[in-house]
Amino acid sequence: MTLDDARYIRQEVMAHNKWFEECIPMIASENLMSPLAKEMLISDFADRYAEGLPGKRYYQGNIFVDRVEEKATEMAKKLFKSDFADLRPISGTVANMAVLFAFAEPGDTITTCALAQGAHISTCEFGAFGQRAVRSVNYPFSVEDMNLDVDGTIKLLKKEKPKIAQFGLSVFLFPPPVKELKPTFDEIGCLVWEDCAHVLGLIAGGQFQKPFDDGIQIVSASTHKTFPGPNHGIILASNITEEQEKKIQKAVFPGVTSSHHLHAMAALAISLAEMDVFAKDYASQACKNARALGQSLHELGVPVLCPDLGFTRSHAIAVDVSQFGGGKECAQLLEDANIICNKNMLPSDTSAVRPSGLRFGAQEMTRIGMKEDDMKDVASFIARVVRKEDPKKVKEDVKAFKKNFTGIKYCFNEGEPAYGYHKLVE
C-alpha cells in the first residue's frame, strides 16, 4: 500500500460524497447522521475495546465508555417507552441473531413473513433463521392490503403453535395487525417479536405504531433507516421477565458480538438525544412525503401499490414497473439519472434478481428539507426515466433541483452541509 493508493481511496470516497450531493437519495434503508453524531465516529472511541456490560467489563479503560453507554441506554428506554434496551448489537441482523440465540433452538417453529411479501433476508432459509436451523412458517398475506390476512394468520398460529411469532418487513408499508392477533398470542403462549429496523424512527416520532402497547414484547432494529443514526443495532423489550432480559444480554455478548463498536454506540447516543427533540416533526413529515410521492406517481400513470389505502403509512412506497422493463432495468436507468433507489420483489415475483418492483423511501429526502410539493418534482423525474427519456437529460434537471437541498435538518447542527467535505486531494 503506497501513498498513491491511499490517495486513490480518499479521492473515491470524496467523489462519492460529491455525487450524492447531486443525487436524490431514495433507498428506504438509508439515512444521514447529523454532524455531531458523525464526530463520535472519529473520536478515540473508534480505537478502543469493551466487552460485557457497563461496570462489568473484561477490559480496563472504559470509565467514559460506561458513562456514555449507561446514558444512551436510559435515553433509548425513554424514547421508545420500553423497559429494557441493549445498544450493543452492531447491526440489525446481529440484533436479530441475538434474539434467535436467546430464545430459539434448532428445530423450533417461528412464524414470519415471506421474502416476496417484503420480509428481510435474515428471516429466510439462507439468512439468520436458516443458520439457526429453525423451522420458519410464513403467514398468509393479502396482496391488496400488503399486510397479513388476519383470519388466516389466526388459524395458522393456532395450528402451528410457534415458539415465536415474528413480524417486520423491508417493504414495511403498513403496521402489522398485532392488536388483532394478541388474544391468539396469549392463547398459545408464544413470544412476540418485531423487527422494526425500517420504522424505528417513525415509532420514535409517534407514527406508524406503538409496538409495546400493541402486544410486541421484543423489538430488534438497525439504527440507520428512518432512525437517522449510525450503522448499528438495538434490542428493546417490555413485558418480559428478568431472566429473559439476561438471555438477551448473554446472546449479545458473548453470543454474537465481542466489542460493540464504541464509536457507533456513541453516535447512536447522540442520535437518540436528537430524536428526543426532533422525532415527532421528522417522522410526521417523512410519512407525508411518502404518501405525496405515491400520489404524484399514481397521477402520472406509474403504478404504486395500495392506492385505495393511501399507498403507505410509513416512509416507503412500492412501485410496479413491470410494464416499463422491470425493477432491475428501471433501477439502473434511475441511477444513471442520479436517482438512487433499489429493485424489489413484489408479492407476485419469484426472482429476487429480476423483480418487477422498485422501492422508494422518503426519509433521507425529508432529512434534507424536502416537503410534499417537492415530491411532485421527484415523481416527475422518476416517470420520465421509467418511460425511457434519456437519463442524461433527466440527470441535469435532478442536479439543478438538488441544489436547493444541501443542508441537513431535524438535528442540533441544522443547516450544516448534509453530505460533508468533498474537495478532492490533488
In-domain check, residue 57: yes
Place of cell 417522522: 283
On the question of pLDDT at 61 being above 90, the answer is: yes
User: Binning pLDDT at 50, 70 and 90, where does residue 1 land?
Assistant: low
Q: How many domains does the chain have?
A: 1
> Rounded to an integer, what distance in angstroms lies between the CA atom of residue 405 and that of residue 415?
10
Is the pLDDT at 425 greater than 60, yes or no? no
pLDDT at 422: 47
Region 7-17: mean pLDDT is 94
Residue 26 C-alpha cell reads as 431514495
Output the average pLDDT for the chain. Answer: 95
Find the mean pLDDT for residues 385-401.
98
Examine the pLDDT at 388 and tell me if it is beyond 60. yes
Rounded to two decimals, the pTM is 0.96
Confidence of residue 126 (pLDDT cuts 50, 70, 90): confident
| Number of Cα atoms under 13 Å in the Cβ half of residue 375 | 28
d(CA 56, CA 93): 25
Q: Is residue 211 part of a domain?
A: yes
> Which residue has cell 460529491?
18
Q: Per-residue confidence at 119, pLDDT binned at 50, 70, 90?
A: confident
Q: Supply the pLDDT for residue 421.
A: 55
Which CATH number covers residue 259?
3.40.640.10
In a domain, 286, yes or no: no
- Is residue 20 a part of any domain in this protein? no
Contact 256, 98 (CB under 8 A): yes
Domain annotation covers residue 339: no
Q: How confident is residue 350, by pLDDT bands cut at 50, 70 and 90?
A: confident
Confidence of residue 399 (pLDDT cuts 50, 70, 90): very high
Lowest mean per-residue pLDDT among 187-196, 285-294, 311-320, 414-423: 414-423
Mean pLDDT in residue range 279-299: 98
Buried b vs exposed e over 292-316: b needs ≥16 C-beta within 10 Å? Answer: bbbbbbbebebbbbbeeeebbbbbb
Determine the structural domain holding residue 112 and report its residue range. Answer: 38-272
**Residue 30 included in any domain:** no
In a domain, 388, yes or no: no
Q: How many whole angstroms separate alpha carbon 395 and alpha carbon 352?
A: 27
Report the pLDDT averaged over residues 258-275.
98
Find cell 438477551 and name the residue: 248
Q: Is residue 165 part of a domain?
A: yes
